Each structure stands twice: as C-alpha cells, then as structure tokens.
Amino acid sequence: MQIFKSIDLNIDSSQLPTPIYIVDERLIEKNLKILKEVIDRTGCKILLAQKAFSMFYLYPLIGQYLTGTTASSLFEAKLGYEEMKGREVHIYAPAYREDEFDEIIKICDHIIFNSFSQWNKYKDKIKASGKKIECGLRINPEYSEIETEIYNPCAAGSRLGITLEQFKEQDLEGIDGLHFHTMCEQNSDVLKRTIEVVDKKFGDYIRKMKWINFGGGHHITRTDYDIDTLIECIMYFKNKYNVEVYLEPGEAIALNAGYLAARVLDFVKNKMDIAILDTSAACHMPDVIEMPYRPKIIGAGEPGEYPYNYRFGGLTCLAGDIIGDYSFKEPLKEGDILVFTDMAIYTMVKNNTFNGVNLPAIASYNDKEGLKIIRQFGYEDFKGRLS
C-alpha cells in the first residue's frame, strides 16, 4: 500500500493481479491539457500516434482534446476509426498492401505515401472512390539529431521518406501536404533546427500545399519542454506558407502516466543477489532491451546507493532478460511488489508472449472509480496467435 500512496494511487496491493499495467487517467488528462494549450495558441492539429499508446479504453477521453489518430497500418487505422469516433484518421506506411487499400480508403481521411511510385499506384483508386481524402508525401530532409541508429529515420540508406534528390515536382498534382518525422524523445530546440533545413530544402513545394505534418518525437509534456519554441515553429510555417500544421506525438500523450507493477518470485545468488520477477523485459517492456535503458522503480536507488543491491531478471529463458540493477534501503522479500514508472508508452503496443509468458493485465485509475481492471489475459490469448 505504501508504494502506491507515494504516487497517490489508493490501491490494495494484496489484491492486485501482477504483472499489471496501471494507467493514471488523471495524468493522461494533465498531458492532454498541455497539448490542448498548444492547439488553442496556434490553431494547429494534434493527433495521437497509436504506435506508442493504443489503450483504446481511453480514446473517448483523448478525443475530447485531440484532433484524431494516426496509424502505421490498416489495423491501427481501424482502431482509431472505431474507438475515437468522429475524429480524423490519418495513415502512413512505408508501403501499402493492395489487398488492404480499399479498406484504408473507406476509413481514412488522410493517406500519406512514402514514395512517388506508391502515390502513382494508388492515386486513381483514391480519386475513383469519390471520397474526400487528403493525400500527402513523406519527405526526408536528411537531417536528424537522433544518435541511436535504429531510431534515426534520416540515417544514410533510410527507407523512410523522399529525399530532395528524388523529389518529382511533376507528380505533385493531387498532393495536399508534406510530412516529415525526424525526431525521437526530443525538445523543441531540435525541431527549430530541423524546420530550418526543411524550409530551405522543400520550401518551394510547401508553398503549394494545404498542410504540413511535423511528425512525432516531440516530448511536449515533459517538464523541461520549451513550449514557446514549439509555438514559434508552428506559427513560422503557418504565417510563411499559409498551411495547416499537424503534429502527431505518441509518447507525449501518456508520458509518465503509467506504471507496471510486478512481484518478486524468488532470489538466486551468482556473485550478486538476483531477484526473479513475474514480469519480463523481453516480453513486457521490450525497449529496455532494444533501446536499451534502465527503467525507474519507485523507492529504488542506483546500484550502490542503498545497502541492499539486486539485479532484476525476467521469467523467460533468454539469458539477457535482465531489467537492471537497483538498490534498496531495506532487503526485499518474496511477494514484494515493485512499481516501474513511465510504463504506458511502447509497452502494451510492443509486448509479446515469448516462452508462453502471460501478458500483464491492463488497468486504469481515476479518483471516482479508483482502480479499474480493463483486461486480463490467459492461455487462449497465447494459443490464439499460434496454430
């Protein structure tokens, strides 16, 4: 109980099914109000990038503040269309499947293409549909300040977006907007330097557009984020080119708004104290391994900071299923609950059932209802993915 009191969650831990994602609706709404402030100050439009956060139980709440959703696949587009009813549905993919495109046309308001060849392949089908769909192209300004190569869409040889060298002005008829996505967990100073490059390289084409999409990677709801510089960037394009400006953050909607609670199952010793948890980095928080990073735990310190030190390992047979090393003021014991922070983003959307490890339950929390378990999983969810 004390752990949850420290983050203002009135939860009886003895009755808590673990592992479990807990999303605090109060913190989601706090983030949404910040984003709505940007919308109100600039007249821009902000979309939820579902690739980071797809807890559709909260889509009605999110839809009260944001313009709509953006998707990277047909299934994400359907989710936004069905669960955030009446809001805009945007889609971008490196390439579209022919057998899915008719359905994409039916549910999407904006379709963004990664190449002129994809645009030329599908433009007649869009026109023939009779539906008012705005079409765009993703550009690659070949400028990014992302240091981790796997997340850098502007790295040499990237498949994402059209470079200036490959741009074809003669094929722009029917194109309503341009889209770029060059950022990852970054502040608005990076955006300012980025749009200077975009402006210089693609300004002549932006003049012909109805809108420009600044993509995602904007950590707008982080405490140190410079919103005034973001406003400056948005207004620069609106005033210079008379275009609508879209942003599509994912992390910013649910940043620091969720937790993953897990239990200690056992201890082993191999030159250090190792605790085995009922969660898994490989299955339940893959970015811990992919990025990689060490998630924070409430009440835990850095290795050596407190007297009792542990390495936390997951349930799978993967030798590298290690969450990280932590220290505590008091020794841990079997059954203790640990609460990992900032676990709403890139967790539910990327988790898996490797080794048959069950998925965490999903819950929300608000002042009126307290903890509400939205979904629990079991064997059939594991088996249903296989044959």
pLDDT of residue 4: 86
Q: Is 246 a member of any domain?
A: yes
The answer to whether 234 touches 44, Cβ cutoff 8 Å, is yes
Clarify whether residues 176 and 274 are in a common domain: no
Domain assignment of residue 31, yes or no: no
- How many other CB atoms sit within 10 Å of the CB of residue 131? 12
What's the pLDDT score for residue 1? 45
Tokens 């956060």, located at residue: 53
Does 14 have pLDDT greater than 90? no
What is the average pLDDT across 11-34?
95
Residue 197 belongs to a domain: yes
Q: For 152-177, write each residue's pLDDT tens digit.
A: 999 999 999 999 999 999 999 999 99
For the CA atoms of 38, 41, 44, 50, the dihedral, rounded to the nearest 10 degrees, stands at 20
Residues facing 113 on adjacent strands: 137
Last residue within a domain, chosen from 202, 236, 254: 254
Whether residue 204 sits in one domain with residue 100: yes
* Single residue among 201, 227, 254 that ends a domain in this structure: 254
Residue 15: the pLDDT is 84
State the pLDDT at residue 180.
98
What pLDDT, on a 0 to 100 scale, did the predictor assign at position 2?
67
- pLDDT value, residue 13: 85
- Within-domain flag for 100: yes
Residues 378 and 263 in one domain: yes
| Cis-peptide, bond into residue 19, ω within 30° of zero | yes
Task: Judge whether 360 lies within some domain.
Answer: yes
Q: How far, in Å, are 27, 73, 74, 153 from residue 384 at the CA level?
A: 34, 21, 20, 34
**How far apart (Å, rounded) are the C-alpha atoms in residues 265 and 278?**
6
Kindly indicate the confidence band of residue 257, based on its pLDDT and cuts at 50, 70 and 90.
Answer: very high
Q: What's the pTM value of the predicted model, to 2 decimals? A: 0.95
CB 184 within 8 A of CB 252: no
One-letter amino acid of 211: W
Q: Domain boundary residue among 235, 254, 273? A: 254
Q: What is the mean pLDDT of the chain?
A: 96
Other beta carbons within 10 Å of 347: 25
Name the residue among 161, 202, 189, 211 with its Cα closest to residue 47: 211
Please tell me whether residues 9 and 72 are part of one structural domain: no
Q: Which CATH number belongs to the domain containing residue 210 in this structure?
A: 3.20.20.10
Residue 270's CATH number? 2.40.37.10
Give yes or no: residues 205 and 311 share one domain: no
Q: What is the pLDDT of residue 12?
A: 87
Residues 96-137: tens digit of each pLDDT: 999 999 999 999 999 999 999 999 999 999 999 999 999 999
Rounded Cα distance, 135 and 173, in Å: 10
Distance between CA atoms of residues 121 and 115, nearest Å: 10
Q: Are residues 248 and 262 in the same domain?
A: no
38 assigned to some structural domain: no
| Residues 162, 180: Cα–Cα separation, whole Å | 9
User: Rounded mean pLDDT of 41-54?
Assistant: 98
Q: Can you give the residue range of the structural domain that contains 167?
A: 43-254
192-238 confidence digits (pLDDT tens):
999 999 999 999 999 999 999 999 999 999 999 999 999 999 999 99
- Alpha carbon 312 to chain centroid, angstroms: 25
Q: Is 239 exposed, middle or buried (0-12, 13-18, 19+ CB in 10 A)?
A: exposed
Same domain, residue pair 238 and 130: yes
Question: Does 117 share its domain with 239?
Answer: yes
In the chain, the amino acid numbered 222 is R
**What pLDDT score does 295 carry?**
97
Report pLDDT for 275.
98
Phi, psi (deg, nearest 5) at residue 282 = -65, -35
Alpha carbon distance 71, 90 (integer Å): 6
Does residue 36 form part of some domain? no
If asked whether residues 168 and 296 sit together in one domain, one would say no
Give, to the nearest 10 degrees, the angle between helix 98-107 and helix 116-129: 50
Mean pLDDT of 135-142: 98
pLDDT class of 6 with cuts at 50, 70, 90: confident
Are residues 85 and 219 part of one domain?
yes
Residues 73 and 219 in one domain: yes
Whether 182 is covered by a domain: the verdict is: yes
Other CB atoms within 10 A of residue 177 CB: 21
Average pLDDT of the residues in 20-47: 98
Q: Do 308 and 377 have their domain in common?
A: yes
265: nearest Cα among 13, 22, 20, 18: 18
pLDDT band, very low/low/confident/very high, at 148 (cuts 50, 70, 90)? confident
218 CB contacts (<8 Å, ≥6 apart)?
183, 186, 188, 191, 230, 247, 249, 252
- Which of 114-119's residues contact partners 24+ apart within 8 Å by CB, and which partners? 114/138, 114/159, 114/160, 114/161, 114/162, 115/162, 116/162, 116/166, 116/168, 116/171, 119/171, 119/174, 119/175
Query: Structural domain tally of the chain?
Result: 2
Instruction: With both helix axes pointing from N to C terminus, report the angle between 98-107 and 74-83 in degrees, rounded to the nearest 10.
Output: 20
